[in-house]
Amino acid sequence: MTNTLHRFGSAESFRDDYVVFAIASKGRNDEGALEKLRRFLRIAVDFQPVNLGDAMHGGALRPSKEMNPGAHWKRDVAPDFDAVVAGLDAPTTVAAVFDNRVAAEDFVQAVKEAELGLSVNISTSIEGAEQCCFAAGIPRHSVGYSLGFEGATAKLPEAKVLMLSTMCGHGMVSHGLAKKMIDWVKEGRRTPQQAAGYMTRFCSCGVFNPARAARLLEQAARGESE
C-alpha cells in the first residue's frame, strides 16, 4: 500500500503512527478472503486503534451524504469501528492504525496467532516495524523503503503541512485543507481533535491517523517544529 509509505516526517515523528494492513493476493489467496479480512478488523478493534478502514468504503469517520444542519453545533467525532467491519463486502486492503507501539506489537502478535494466511504489512518507521516483528518473533519477509520526495519539490508546501496531508497517500487530504486546519487551530476556532476529524473524513481508505494529526496540529499552532 504505497499510500501509507511516503508519509512525511522523521522516524521519530512516527512514534505515534503504526499502520498495519492486510491484503489478499489476487489468484493466490483471495478465495474466502473476505471473512479473514473481517476477522483481521475485528481483532484490531480489541487493541484500540485510532482508525480502521478498507480501501473501498473508507475509515471509521466518514462524510455524510445527508448531513443534518444541527451537526454544525454538535458533530459526532467518535470513530465507528463496527460500521467498518460490517461494511466490508468484498476482498480489498484493510487497515488498522495505532498511536502507540505496544498496541501495534500486541495486534501483530494476535494476527500471527490467528493464522489468517493473508499478507500483513506494517507501515511506520523502519525501527518501529522491526520492533513489532521482534516482539512477535517474526523475521521480516520484505521491506519497501520510502526514499522521500524528489524532483520539483519547490512545488510542495512547508513541512508542517506536508506531515498532515501525506497521511492520506492517495492525496485526498489536500495541502489547502491541512493549512486551513493549522490556521483554525492557531486562531482557536477549532480544537486539534476537531480539525483532525475533518481531515480524517477525506481519507478514502481509513489510514489517516487522527491522533498524530491532532498532535501535529497542536505543535504547528504553537509554532513548534517536530
Partner 1 sequence: MKINPDKCVACGNCTYVCPMGAIYIDPVIRRATINRNECVECYACFNGLSQEHLNPTFVRTVRKLFQMARMRFDPEPDVCPTAAFEPENLEWPRVVRRAFSDPRVPHESTGVHGRGTEEVKTNDVSGRVGTGEAGFTIEFGRPGVGVWFRDIQKMCWALARAGVAFEKKNPVTSLMSDAATGTIRQDILDEKVLSAIVEIKVPVERVEEVIRLVREMEKQIDTVVALGVGARCDEKGEDNVVAPILEKLGYNLERAKTNIGLGRVSNAA
**Contacts with partner 1 in 56-115 (CB under 8 A)?**
56, 63-69, 71-72, 75, 92-93, 108, 111-112, 115
- The minimum distance between CB 142 and partner 1, in angstroms, equals 4
Give yes or no for residue 23 binding partner 1 (CB under 8 A). Answer: yes
> Residue 49: which of 75, 74, 84 has the closest Cα?
84
> Residue 226: which of 51, 47, 12 has the closest Cα?
12
- The minimum distance between CB 213 and partner 1, in angstroms, equals 14
> Residue 202: which of 13, 101, 58 has the closest Cα?
58
Cell numbers placing 102: 505496544
Give yes or no for residue 3 binding partner 1 (CB under 8 A). Answer: yes
Q: Using CB under 8 A, which of 84, 96, 107, 123 touches partner 1?
A: 123
Q: Which residue has the cell 480489541?
A: 46
CB 143 within 8 A of CB 126: yes
Question: Given the rule CB under 8 A, which of 17-25, 94-102, 208-216, 217-225 is the region that contacts partner 1?
Answer: 17-25
Nearer to partner 1, 111 or 220 (CB): 111
Q: What span, in angstroms and rounded, lies between the C-alpha atoms of 58 and 87?
A: 10
Hey, what amino acid is at 222?
Answer: R
- The minimum distance between CB 107 and partner 1, in angstroms, equals 12
Cell numbers placing 197: 476529524
Report the run of H or E that residue 22 belongs to, with start and end: strand 18-23
Nearer to partner 1, 98 or 198 (CB): 198
- The minimum distance between CB 38 and partner 1, in angstroms, equals 16
Give yes or no for residue 126 binding partner 1 (CB under 8 A). Answer: yes
| Cβ neighbour number for residue 193 with a 10 Å cutoff | 15
Give yes or no for residue 186 binding partner 1 (CB under 8 A). Answer: no
Q: What span, in angstroms and rounded, lies between the C-alpha atoms of 47 and 98?
A: 8
- The minimum distance between CB 224 and partner 1, in angstroms, equals 20
Give yes or no for residue 9 binding partner 1 (CB under 8 A). Answer: yes
Residues 155-174 that bind partner 1 (CB under 8 A): 155-157, 162, 165-166, 169-174
CB 192 within 8 A of CB 214: yes
Give yes or no for residue 187 binding partner 1 (CB under 8 A). Answer: no
Q: Using CB under 8 A, which of 39, 42, 130, 226 touches partner 1?
A: 130
